[in-house]
Amino acid sequence: MKAQKQFYVANWKMNWDFDETVTFITQHYDDFRELGRIHPESQIVLCPSSIALAQAAAVFQDSGIMIGGQDCADHHKGAFTGQVSAEQIKTAGGAFCIIGHSEQRKYAGSTNVVIAHKCEQAFLADLTPILCIGETKEQLQQGKTSAVLEEQLKSIVDLFAPKTYLLHDKQFLIAYEPVWAIGTNSVPTQDHLDFVYGWLSNFIKKQLPVAQIFLLYGGSVSPQTIKEIKHNPLINGFLVGGASLDFQEFKKIVECT
Ligand code: PGA
């Protein structure tokens, strides 16, 4: 059954420098609060780059708007130059963390096993992971979508099988983000979404029953495309890239669903 809660995650990627991020959140502080107030079932999560995360968290403290990281390390702490730990995100005021985004998989070489460890670090730090999974265009054309998703989720299932206590009653957001839909303005058909979310919810019921899982969709979500993708009742929110850089566009997406 469809849970009431819906998540709207703004993934600002590496688009803004510190000043630009602060200007945007300061300009739209009241707008975001108001949007959250009018739609109490909608949890808005803003994911700035790590340099601006603490500042964003300070601005939105106690506002109902949550802040998330865009990635975290697969280790707790130590000699990992350049990485940001889940604990650091948490203590800077973050509550969520995107993990396994296809751009991380592609450009930073994150494997499924590393991504599973990042999710573990997020749970240990009391951050809600937003795990991204999805197939490439080629894999889609070869009819391998469910095989790819299964492979991506298997490392999570294997890692948590002996430690289910880490997942107990914890929110776990899983975003289906077909790589071919990211930044392309093309979105999957109704049939494809029905197939994927049906498959995902069955898989999760069998393999990850202890967590409170919410399934999201990401990839070219905009005020135009949301109308085509919002119908599936198993989708409990959206991960928004490009359109989240414009408050009015983001607002239309929240208001359309
Ligand atoms: P997009 O990005 O909305 O610009 O397609 C989504 C994402 O990469 O999370």
Q: What is the mean pLDDT of each run of 10 residues along the chain (257 residues)?
A: 78 98 98 96 97 98 97 98 97 98 94 98 98 98 98 97 92 98 96 97 94 96 93 95 98 93
Pocket test for ligand 1, best of 177, 222, 246 (most atoms within 8 A of CB): 177
Q: Ligand 1: which residues within 6 Å by Cβ?
A: 11, 177, 182-183, 218-221, 239-243
The pLDDT assigned to 257 comes to: 76
**240: amino acid identity, one letter:** V
Contacts 24+ apart (CB under 8 A), 223-229: 223/249, 223/252, 223/253, 223/256, 225/185, 225/187, 226/252, 226/253, 226/256, 226/257, 227/256, 228/187, 228/190, 229/187, 229/188, 229/193
Q: Which residue has the tokens 């795990």?
A: 131
In the chain, the N- to C-terminal Cα span, in Å, equals 17
The pLDDT assigned to 3 comes to: 46
Question: How far is the centre of ligand 1, averaged over its atoms, from the C-alpha of 66 (Å)?
Answer: 19
Point out which residues pair with 48 in neighbouring strands.
Answer: none
Q: Which residues are catalytic?
A: 101, 177
Q: What is the secondary structure of 174-215 as a DSSP string?
A: EEE--GGGTTTS----HHHHHHHHHHHHHHHHHH-TTSEEEE
Question: How far is the centre of ligand 1, averaged over its atoms, from the C-alpha of 138 (Å)?
Answer: 19
Nearest ligand 1 atom to alpha carbon 240: 3
The pLDDT assigned to 115 comes to: 98
The pLDDT assigned to 169 comes to: 86
Nearest ligand 1 atom to alpha carbon 244: 3
Pocket test for ligand 1, best of 222, 240, 245 (most atoms within 8 A of CB): 240
CB 137 within 8 A of CB 147: no
The pLDDT assigned to 107 comes to: 94
Question: How far is the centre of ligand 1, averaged over its atoms, from the C-alpha of 117 (Å)?
Answer: 23
